[in-house]
């Protein structure tokens, strides 16, 4: 490798360093893409919810911290589908993992409990299907 070829390489490295971001701190899976797809087309909700579940499982299996908000988002997906018991379980997971979320999650749990006592028309969805026991 001659001296001539070194300069462009250095240049590319410098640029590369300032364009690309650092490697990810958390395991996000498909979070970005599926939430975007869900907002672009509501029928993509299934992919968003399944992506949440997959990302959560992957992070748990690796022994890594599940990124902020994911348990809560998944809990809400379960809630939307009428699965209040599982929804509450995931809200509580979020609160246990992230103390900053405790106050908000307690509210969400109370809300879900209230809804749970009322007769609801459960809708089946991907989250409900995934949580079937």
Partner 1 sequence: MTRLLPVAALAALLAGCIPQVVPPDYSKLLAAAPRSILVVPVVNNTVEVDASSYFLSTIPVPVAERGYYVFPVNLVKRVLEDDGLSDASLVHAADPMRLCALFGADAVLYVTIQRWEAKYVVLATTVSVGFTYVLKDGKTGDTLWREERVAAYSSDPGSGQGGAASLIAAIVSAAVTKASPNYMPLARQANAQAMGPQGTGVPFGPYRPEYGTDYQRPGMAAPPPRLPKPKPKPKLEPEPEVRPGW
- Kindly list the residues in this chain that would bind partner 1 in the complex (CB under 8 A): 7-8, 10-12, 14-16, 18-22, 24-26, 28, 31-32, 35-36, 38-40, 67-70, 72-73, 76, 94, 98-104, 107-108, 110-111
Smaller CB separation from partner 1, 21 or 119: 21
* CB distance 115 to 83 below 8 Å: no
Q: How far is the CB of 129 from partner 1 (least distance, A)?
A: 20
Smaller CB separation from partner 1, 85 or 115: 115
* CB distance 97 to 71 below 8 Å: yes
- Residue 2, sorted as left (phi over 0), alpha (psi -120 to 50) or beta, turns out to be beta
Q: How far is CA 81 from CA 5, 12, 16, 50, 117, in A?
A: 60, 50, 44, 13, 15
Smaller CB separation from partner 1, 39 or 85: 39
Q: How far is the CB of 91 from partner 1 (least distance, A)?
A: 10
Smaller CB separation from partner 1, 1 or 18: 18
Q: How far is the CB of 43 from partner 1 (least distance, A)?
A: 15
Q: How far is the CB of 16 from partner 1 (least distance, A)?
A: 7
- Residue 22, sorted as left (phi over 0), alpha (psi -120 to 50) or beta, turns out to be beta
Other beta carbons within 10 Å of 102: 13
Q: How far is the CB of 103 from partner 1 (least distance, A)?
A: 3
């Amino acid at each position: 490798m001659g001296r001539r070829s070194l300069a462009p390489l250095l240049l590319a490295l410098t640029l590369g360093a300032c364009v690309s971001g650092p490697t990810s701190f958390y395991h996000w899976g498909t979070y970005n893409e599926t939430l975007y797809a869900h907002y672009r087309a509501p029928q993509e909700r299934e992919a968003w919810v399944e992506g949440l579940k997959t990302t959560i499982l992957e992070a748990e299996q690796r022994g890594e911290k599940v990124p902020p908000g994911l348990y809560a988002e998944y809990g809400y997906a379960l809630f939307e589908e009428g699965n209040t018991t599982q929804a509450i379980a995931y809200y509580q997971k979020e609160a246990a993992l992230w103390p900053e979320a405790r106050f908000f999650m307690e509210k969400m749990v109370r809300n879900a409990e209230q809804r749970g006592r009322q007769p609801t028309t459960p809708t089946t969805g991907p989250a409900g299907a995934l949580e079937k026991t």
